[in-house]
Amino acid sequence: MKNLALVLTLAACSKATPAEPPAATSPPKVVKGPTASAGDPDKLPPAGQAPEPVTVDKEVPMWNAQIKTLKGVETKLAAYRGKGLLLVNVASECGLTPQYEQLEALQKKYGGQGFTVIGFPCNQFGGQEPGTAEEIQTFCSKNYGVTFPMMEKIDVNGDQRHDIYKTLTGIADASGHQGDIRWNFEKFVISADGTHITRFSPKTKPDDPSVIAAIEQALPAK
């Protein structure tokens, strides 16, 4: 009887419906962090009203001033002529350093329209850019995904002021400030033909509608 029961049990098991495979799980939803969100060009506001730019001679000396990229390659600002430019002195340890996020968003949105941001690391404000060229490059890439050109560390004020900034500091902003750079992340928007420059204070964020308006006016004519 025991053997008969065992046979009946085995037969029942052989007819049982096989277990369903586990249901396929959906891939986890990607949630953007604060850097990715801020760096998203779709998050940029529409253009507002740009301040009146300062008109300059298109042959001002800054275009031919020698400078090296952060990777040590010799270049000149003239290499970027024909594009709308946003020049900005940057630092890695400043309270304004998160502005890199919006700068990169501007690069993504307008880079294909004849525009580029150019960063100039500077250690003159609170010693907030102390790193080597390699350390600065790694910091910008790892933390903010920077793709726009970065130049060597320079002085923007004082006796060793770089020739590019000898021109830029002669430009007044909308408040009438002219002269020395006030802090990290002071911005200059230059028109594609090189004849108009608009200056913005460090605290004016790159995604401020007035900055965006100046950039759109600076783009090369279609």
Q: Which two tokens stand for residue 196?
A: 């108009």
Of 13, 94, 122, 140, which one is the catalytic site residue? Answer: 94
Is 140 part of the annotated catalytic residue set?
no
Name, in order, each residue with C-beta under 8 angstroms of 58's C-beta and a sequence gap of 6 or more: 193, 194, 195
Pairing between β-strand 84-90 and β-strand 187-190 as defined by DSSP bridges = antiparallel
Q: Which of 164, 220, 207, 214 is nearest to 45 (CA)?
A: 207
C-alpha–C-alpha distance, residues 157 and 159, integer Å: 7
Cβ partners under 8 Å of residue 146, min gap 6: 100, 103, 104, 119, 140
Contact criterion met (CB below 8 Å) for 172 and 165: no
CA neighbor of 101 nearest in space, from 36, 45, 186: 36
Catalytic residues: 94
